Amino acid sequence: MEHLWAPWRVEYIQQEKPAGCILCDKPVEDNDARNYLLYRGENNFIMLNSFPYNTGHLMVAPYRHVASLEELTDAELHEHFEIVRLSIKVIRQVYHPDGFNVGINMGKVAGAGIDDHIHTHIVPRWQGDTNFMPVMADIKIVNEALAETYQRLKEQF
């Protein structure tokens, strides 16, 4: 069996969890730059993941607080995946990745950090983007600050 190590995520895991739901709260704060909201659709929005696996790691989420795909309306679902497609197009233009991980974790046992508000992760990947640093030194190198990533992507949305 192979193991996937992500020790840099411990900061997220150990932090005190804020009350409420960040995927509900952040869009209504009306401070998109501080909250790294990149795009607002009618039913869904895009925000950067504050604890990214790689530069450009985005999340697409509906405004409405629902836990699973089957709870989304047809309009929410259709727009959600249109925005996923748009996100991939924009990341491809800005960062030129070699591939993508696109995924939805429904439920805690499936790995969802926020298990009661459905969202899709889009993680750009590059050949050789994993190395010895996370395993040997407990360090994950993300090669660009979130604010810089936000500016680069925001211009394209």
Q: Degrees (nearest 5) of the Cα angle 150, 89, 126?
A: 75
Provide, for the chain, the percentages of residues in helix, strand and coil under a 3-state DSSP scheme, each rounded to the nearest 5.
40, 15, 45
Beta bridge partners of 40: 45
Alpha carbon distance 121, 103 (integer Å) = 5
Element containing residue 62 per DSSP (H, E): strand 58-62
Q: Which residues are catalytic?
A: 119
Alpha carbon distance 47, 55 (integer Å) = 13
DSSP state of 90: H
